[in-house]
Amino acid sequence: MRIIAGSLKGRRLATPTWEGLRPTSDKLRETLFNILGARIEGAHVLDLFAGTGAVGLEALSRGAALVIGVESDRRAVALVARNLAACGRTADYTIHSGDVLVVVAQLRPARAFDVVFLDPPYAFSRTRDVLAAAATHLSLEGMLVLERATRVEPDVPGALARVRDVRSGDSSLTLLVRKPEAL
């Protein structure tokens, strides 16, 4: 894995040495950031199920102001910390260890994110709950991106509107925004 573009372009990232962590591929990350484009410059990004930290680091490399990552696997938290240190970006990326729903509920209420990225395990059963919780932290013009198995349709909470799906092999990105009546 490597950083695709921006100030950290070409930096190699450490990958997991254990089974069960499915990092977002370089190709899918490139697609994601091509879609998000200028939205990333100066953005506050929430990276749920942070894994290796690659999505958050890519966002910082492309000009995001700050990233908050959340990951429940302590090995992955250590891997994110290692990748942050290797890229020299420990000041603008904070990683939280714990259950995603618990950590999101503890984020200060005024914290608004311009981009929220979710990459839960494909067998994760609480995706709808996490989407609903994350939606409360979206800025007015914010975008929520769900990486999911292409074969599984997401259960989208009523506060969110699905605006686009992008397929890349077995994975798809579902882009969502808050409905005006939910603001």
Render pLDDT for 20-63 as a digit per residue (tens, 0 to 9).
Answer: 777 777 888 899 999 998 999 999 999 999 999 999 999 999 99
Cβ-in-10-Å burial (0-12, 13-18, 19+) of 48 comes to buried
In angstroms and rounded to an integer, the radius of gyration of the C-alpha atoms of the chain is: 15
Domain ranges across the chain: 26-182
* Location of structure tokens 């013009």: 141
What is the value of pTM for the model shown?
0.92
Provide the mean pLDDT of the chain. 91
Band of residue 77 on the pLDDT scale cut at 50, 70, 90: very high
User: What pLDDT does residue 66 have?
Assistant: 95
pLDDT of 137 over the 60 cut: yes
Choices 3.90.25.10, 3.30.43.10, 3.40.50.150, 1.10.287.3510: CATH for 26-182:
3.40.50.150
When pLDDT is cut at 50, 70 and 90, the band that residue 169 belongs to is confident
